[in-house]
Amino acid sequence: MRIQVTIVAIGLALSGCSTVGGIPRGAGPAVSQGGPAAPETIISAMDGGLIGGSVGAGLSENDRRLALQAEYRALEHTAAGKAVDWQGSRGSGAVTASQPYRVGSQDCRQYTQAVNVGGQTRNARGTACRNPDGSWTPLT
């Protein structure tokens, strides 16, 4: 069991930080609402992401979690310009990340979060950089 965990960890470490053709290695097509969820530790490391700001006002805690998971999937797995949609009980939205770029040893991406609550759409923009553990840290 320990060997399997080590092999998976090494594979993730080797694939996580390099880019091929400007898309993070291992990136596939856009992941929709039903895509894989990020582990809790990675989501909590995002420190609320864009949805934690005023763009997320009026959303339930569950909606915020769905939006934050969409942010992670857009940053980690989705090609530039492809939206990752999410649908909650009080709101919905889409996250779109731009082409990754390198800052020192980190991959970074600019991204947008469009949130619709009560028929009104709010937009937020931000930048996040990928940490060695696979989490993304929003820049302020």
How confident is the model at residue 134, as a pLDDT? 86
How confident is the model at residue 66, as a pLDDT? 94
Burial per residue of 15-49, b for 16 or more beta-carbon CB atoms within 10 angstroms, e otherwise: ebbeeeeeebeebeebbeeebeebeeebbebbeeb
Residue 120 pairs in a beta bridge with 117
Q: How many CB atoms lie within 10 A of CB 50?
A: 25
How confident is the model at residue 140, as a pLDDT? 66
d(CA 128, CA 50) in angstroms, rounded, equals: 10
d(CA 67, CA 12) in angstroms, rounded, equals: 24
How confident is the model at residue 54, as a pLDDT? 86
Question: With a cut of 70, which residues of the chain have pLDDT below it?
Answer: 1-39, 140
How confident is the model at residue 110, as a pLDDT? 97
pLDDT tens, position by position, 86-115: 999 999 999 999 999 999 989 999 999 999
